[in-house]
Structure 1
Amino acid sequence: MLADLRTLVEIESPSRDLDALAASAEAVATVIENRLGGQAVLIVNEGGTHVHWAGGGETRVLILGHHDTVFPLGTLARRPFTVADGRATGPGVFDMLGGLVQAVHGLAALDDRSGVEILVTADEEVGSFSSRALIEERARTCGAVLVFEGAADGGGLKTARKGCGAFQVSIAGRASHAGLEPEAGVNALVEAAHQVLDIAALSRPELGTTVTPTVASAGTLENVVPAEATVVVDVRVESAEEKERVEAAFAGLAPRVDGARITVEGSIGRPPMPASAAAELFFLAQQLQPGIEAKAVGGGSDGNFTAAVGVPTLDGLGAVGGGAHADHEYVVIDAMAERAHLAAGLVKAIQHAPRL
């Protein structure tokens, strides 16, 4: 498993770099074919190169993951793949190349791989816009989804996820000389200040809703009334009702400064994943590994999409570790074999159970 993990980590795969993603997809396909046999099909579209493998027979379970990472080309030179002190480190080891390796090796331990599909996408980190339809189609066909994103804290499985999305609020004002005639301008920065406060007030922490302005820009020079400003907002919700409320609130944002104009783009693209979507599969996991914990988390994954279309989905089956998207990202080596065995056990249980 460590050898395969090294292979994948050492082919950098930043989202939106289509050449790098193509090389990474080839490596993922080779690992799958070497361990499982058969042919892994490369699916190329505007989001990158996705990888699909099928074990034959009536499809029962979809192994879902992604091979794109958040790190730019050149990160590997600064932070190479390393094994030391019980940990494997390097860009993408936890999110989520370690999980892919564990899934493949878990399946390799099974004599019967019929009814199993693997889908590894290339654009999860940037919204899955090019892969969402394919993910939903294969999930519906298979009837159960195991997502190999990194484990929750302590190795728990992710049985609920918040819906998440981003909005960009663009403000148009009018420039003027800040000293000679500031009254002739329409200050986009002042309007942005009003909007930031109004937007932040949309949060409902008691309902699990967070609305967080994260990036803002405005102005050109210190003596010019700003004619333009933008505010980017991260949104997380736990329920469909809150998704509707927040999206309606953004659509209804109104200017507070005379003459200012507002344009809003974005949505809560990943719907919430309720705990009910994971209940049946988590029960199977508990039989295989008593004491394993269920965790609800704020981050989204492609499991949000499969749960939203009504397909039983269990997430967080990937590597035990931490530091996703950070320089200290790591995988706990001693947990890799245990997680691979859990993957194998879940697939076998689904193969022999009535269709979920």
Structure 2
Amino acid sequence: MSDSNKTVFTNPSTFILLGIPGLEAAHVWISIPFSTMYIIAVLGNFIILFIVKTEPSLHGPMYYFLCMLAVTDLSLSTSTLPKMLSIFWFNSREIDFSSCLTQMYFLHCFSVMESGIFVAMALDRYVAICHPLRHSTILTNTVVAKIGLALVLRGGMVILPFLLLARQWPYCRTNIIPHSYCEHIAVVKLACDDTRVSSYYGLFVVLCVRGLDMIFIAVSYIQILRAIFSLPTKDARLKALETCTSHLCAILTFYIPGLFSSLTHRFGQNVPLHFHILVANMYLLVPPTLNPIIYGVRTKQIQGRLLRLFTHKGISSFFLCSGSQTELCAELAGDLVLFSRP
């Protein structure tokens, strides 16, 4: 074939995002659940941040990690969905080369950070259940801040090679990305050089970074379950398990779609392209949408604060407790726990 039909973009000014190839006619309809999920994610995570900030009783390691998760979820979904919706609604498919690489960097960076936050939350649950008397001395505010900083640095440094390698490749034949956002594998496939380094490094991130995170979480929960089942009474075991259910649900929501998306991209050659793209989009939207719902439903302290925010003062005051009455009120109100004003 003649080289006259081949254009080399050593540094293309723009890329073209196709959205969901094969489902272009349904883009407007697809945007409805996507935009709904994004609105729920934004509102839910902002409510979590507001509740933790304004409720002094929630100023502890578990809720600080939950705030980190909320900020990461907001950043992860916001880095992709606005551009995605502009494709679906206005057919605005062009994205600047630098903007594309920036989007690619941040969405993978926030994804690695979120994985690390789940590890930190598993550590918090491990210390709280296996070493309850030392929890406040082990996970001090300073330690929590250092963990948060370490997670940010880890995410930024691990994903930096993605950006550096993608910027150096020459791009050939086309600048069209068959995706709704600048995903690493989709961008690298456009390069006309040998990109095995990028592919191998991407696999390393999946297996060694997230894989190690999952192993650490599994080991933590093995120790947690051993401690729980050694408790003397059934009620004590159930209460200890309840403190972990929110975290376990959030972990499953994050890791299962993420692993499925990564594996289908690499090994699912017979899977339709539009299915790949839909799974990848759901991976970025489902966890930020469900996490505030999971923690809002399963965490009694957040339930109580929400009730105080959204119910009539007269009704709320009926349930308010103070000082030593808090535990009694929690039992009388069932799953509802409200904390008194200082």
Question: TM-score scaled to structure 1, two decimals?
Answer: 0.21
Name the structure where strand makes up a greater proportion of residues: 1
Higher helix share: 2
Using the size of structure 2 for normalisation, the TM-score is 0.22
